[in-house]
Amino acid sequence: METKHCDYLIVGGGAAGCTLGYLLRKAGANVLILERLDAKQKDKLCAGMVTDFDLGEITKIFGEEALSALDAEPISVVESFFGGYELISRGEAFYTMPRKRLDDYFLNSYIKLGGQIKDLATVRKINLETNSAECVELRTKKIFHVQFGNLIGADGATSTVRKLTTGKKPRISFALESTIPLVGKNIIFDHLPDGSVGYRWYIPHRHDATVGVGYFFSHTNPTADYAKSCREWLSDFCHSRAISLTQPLRGAFLPAGDDVLLRAGEQIYFIGDAAGLIVTPSGAGISYVLLSAKKLAESFLGGTSYEESMQPIKENVTNKAAKARTFQFLTNLRILKLGKQVE
Ligand SMILES: Cc1cc2nc3c(=O)[nH]c(=O)nc-3n(C[C@H](O)[C@H](O)[C@H](O)COP(=O)(O)OP(=O)(O)OC[C@H]3O[C@@H](n4cnc5c(N)ncnc54)[C@H](O)[C@@H]3O)c2cc1C
């Protein structure tokens, strides 16, 4: 049976895996990425919003030329609503771009440095004592082994590496999204009603837009049918803005925000969504993808340990998740009370 050898085995060829792969290849390391889909064809579901901070981090990692390659569209007005009340509407430094352009840029940057990626392949068993993984080619079902120095779970919100190394799947949230024709130039966020933590969004791009809903948690109905509630909320949102859904809805999972795990053993690490890094409840994850990949690469290359440099980020993520739940619950109560007084 075939055995491959590498310094770093990265499971998941998304934004996080390719960014880490790029940084390690730049330092001359022997890296292998396993991707369960076709890395060049895949099209990750994402609203496609990035901030000034994200573009700054991308420039630090990939160089100034990344900005012209990515050609992000600046959006200056963000409207934010809660239960029909406008909360803020102000100038912000947000940008949008099709997510595929971002993922392709990270992937091609890694490949240009001679990075290896094995498409349509995944890991089935991990032996923590021998640092080896049993892997499978998904199309042919052929088994192969990889002997690694370090293993990195960059396999997204439903991380298989987390399940195989800790026995538990990460906690997840749910999102639905669709692409629509452009109907306005502002970004719109609309908090979910009914004691539920999450957002509905309208994100304009140059030629089209995305609408979607991300559902993190319900205070009033924790066992709600996520998919059904999301469909109804998104349909109300579109209806109230005279938006018709012309394309099918697509669904995806994202981290819950309160289940961060950076490491599962001596040589097993997690980055991006697989680590559970997300802003609750907006669902923004790109900044944490970049930060976690950069900090893990730095620690491998002799810098501060990953866990130590990520500690403030981990706290920030967990605190934001806790605050979002409390804030939205309290705001709901206040609005309900106000509503009663007005009646
Ligand atoms: C609907 C939606 C909208 C979003 N909008 C925004 C936004 O506007 N701005 C923002 O900042 N963030 C947004 N996010 C979050 C952002 O997309 C994620 O945080 C980011 O994609 C995480 O990147 P990643 O590389 O960690 O994971 P992913 O992009 O999910 O990549 C994981 C990769 O691993 C592969 N994989 C999975 N399992 C295996 C396996 N077992 N074996 C091999 N490969 C595997 C997958 O195919 C994938 O290629 C959104 C998320 C969703 C769901």
Supply the pLDDT for residue 336. 52
User: What mean pLDDT is predicted for residues 36-64?
Assistant: 96
**What's the rounded Cα separation, in Å, for the pair 191 and 200?**
6
Q: Which helix (H) or strand (E) holds 118?
A: strand 116-118
CB atoms under 10 Å from CB of 259, counted, come to 19
Q: Would you call 44 helix, strand, or coil by DSSP?
A: coil
pLDDT, tens digit, 9 for 90 and up, residues 21-38 = 999 999 999 999 999 999
| Sequence-ordered alpha helix ranges (H) in the chain | 15-26, 52-62, 65-70, 99-112, 160-166, 226-240, 286-300, 306-342
- CB distance 30 to 8 below 8 Å: yes
Residue reference for tokens 């934010």: 80
Domain limits, the chain: 3-334
Answer yes or no: pTM beyond 0.85.
Answer: yes
Supply the pLDDT for residue 59. 98
**What's the rounded Cα separation, in Å, for the pair 196 and 88?**
20
CA 334 to ligand 1 center in whole angstroms: 35
Ligand 1 nearest atom to the CA of residue 254, by list position: 53
Site to probe by mutation for ligand 1, drawn from 254, 287, 292, 296 as the one with most ligand atoms within 8 Å of Cβ, is 254
**What's the rounded Cα separation, in Å, for the pair 254 and 35?**
18
Site to probe by mutation for ligand 1, drawn from 44, 124, 279, 288 as the one with most ligand atoms within 8 Å of Cβ, is 44
pLDDT tier at 343 (50, 70, 90 boundaries)?
very low
36 Cβ neighbours under 8 A, 6+ residues apart: 120, 121, 122, 138, 155
pLDDT, tens digit, 9 for 90 and up, residues 87-97 = 655 556 899 99
pLDDT tier at 281 (50, 70, 90 boundaries)?
confident
User: What mean pLDDT is predicted for residues 269-282?
Assistant: 93
Check whether 316 has a pLDDT greater than 70: yes
**Ligand 1 pocket list (CB less than 6 A):** 11-17, 34-37, 42, 44-49, 122, 154-156, 160, 175, 177, 212, 252, 254, 272-274, 278, 283-286, 289
Check whether 338 has a pLDDT greater than 70: no
The total number of residues shown for the chain amounts to: 343
Check whether 109 has a pLDDT greater than 80: yes
Ligand 1 nearest atom to the CA of residue 214, by list position: 1
Report strand pairing: 121-127 vs 132-137. Answer: antiparallel
Selected from 3.50.50.60, 3.40.50.170, 3.40.50.1950, 3.30.479.30, the CATH number assigned to the domain covering 3-334 reads: 3.50.50.60
Site to probe by mutation for ligand 1, drawn from 286, 287, 290 as the one with most ligand atoms within 8 Å of Cβ, is 286
CA 278 to ligand 1 center in whole angstroms: 11
